[in-house]
Amino acid sequence: MSLLVTGSIGIDTVSTPFGRSEQCVGGSAVYFSFAASIFSPVRFLGVIGDDCPFDLAETFQERPVDLTGLEVRPGSKTFRWTGSYEGDMDQANTDNVQLNVLAEAPPTIPKEYKDSEYVFLANTAPSLQMQLLHQLTAPKFVAADTMNLWINTARDDLVQLLDKIDMLVLNDGEAKMLTGRENLIQAAADILKMGPRVVIIKKGQNGSLMSNVNGDVFLLPAFPTNVVIDPTGAGDSFAGAMMGYLADVDKVDIISLRNAIVYGTVAASFTIGDFSIHGIRSIERQAVDERYDILRKATQF
């Protein structure tokens, strides 16, 4: 089934206890697409300025990622993010952010993309996410990501968006901020009342929690890895593998959701193993399936 992602393409500078990566390719749509394309072709929708130093066609040349929806905007500047991690690297510090083109109008969805069935609205302003969603004809399953910035500054728009999507993906701090709940089970229940059928709460090195409107709950630890170089993009890779798998099997029942979360967790474990996209860029399905089996055996009892 067709899978569309819309999100950021960024120029990142990242510092961790293991070093510093300057002016590297990043952005939610980029990480998402690398992970999702392990399972399914991806329709990529995003915008960059004419200052972007990366050739995205070359970046994705070995992946089934359709860049028809990539807009290069003359006179605009590409999104830039500078971040750092300390200690257990469970939280990113934003040292500098320049929204640039992300503060402008969203890209127009090409007519070839309007019939997309599986859709992921990666992290950007909720008002822009809704504008993009309204351009689609009949999406089958829509998921979205958000962040603390939008919860603080665009809560009303975010609440409107939640009533129009099937699944929300966010981290534990954002879930607490959105609902005012410290207990994540209670937070998930409150979010489900806002509209989505499924909510997934990411807990960093402590794994993830899924809850749905049928009362199903699924808890999964992170993949047991001792190699963590750069956590940037782990959440986007998690979402990418999840949505790629769901689009591939064309099913969103509880079993498919559980499998998708396991695959998302595995994809994130590859991403954190190197700076920028280098941890996930060349990973093939066989390597992902091997880690899937390791995680399955580690969680059986």
Give every CB contact of residue 170 below 8 A, 6+ residues apart in sequence. 145, 146, 147, 178, 199, 200, 201, 202
Query: What CA–CA distance (Å, rounded) separates 266 from 5?
Result: 20
Tens-digit pLDDT profile for residues 58-85: 999 989 999 999 999 999 999 999 999 9
Torsion of CA 207, 212, 216, 218, to 10 degrees: -10
- 102: domain CATH number? 3.40.1190.20
- Residue 124 is predicted with a pLDDT of 82
Cross-strand bridge partners of residue 150? none
- Residue 290 is predicted with a pLDDT of 97
- Residue 91 is predicted with a pLDDT of 82
- Which contiguous run of DSSP H or E holds residue 155? helix 155-162
- Residue 106 is predicted with a pLDDT of 87
- Residue 215 is predicted with a pLDDT of 96
Considering its fold, how many domains does the chain have in total? 1
The ranges of the chain with pLDDT < 50 are none
Say whether 111 sits in a helix, a strand or coil: helix
192 lies in which domain range?
A: 3-299
Give every CB contact of residue 269 below 8 A, 6+ residues apart in sequence. 222, 223, 225, 291
- Residue 193 is predicted with a pLDDT of 97
What is the rounded average pLDDT for all residues in the chain? Answer: 95
CA dihedral (184, 186, 192, 194) positive or negative:
negative
Give every CB contact of residue 225 below 8 A, 6+ residues apart in sequence. 269, 272, 273
- Residue 90 is predicted with a pLDDT of 82
- Residue 247 is predicted with a pLDDT of 98
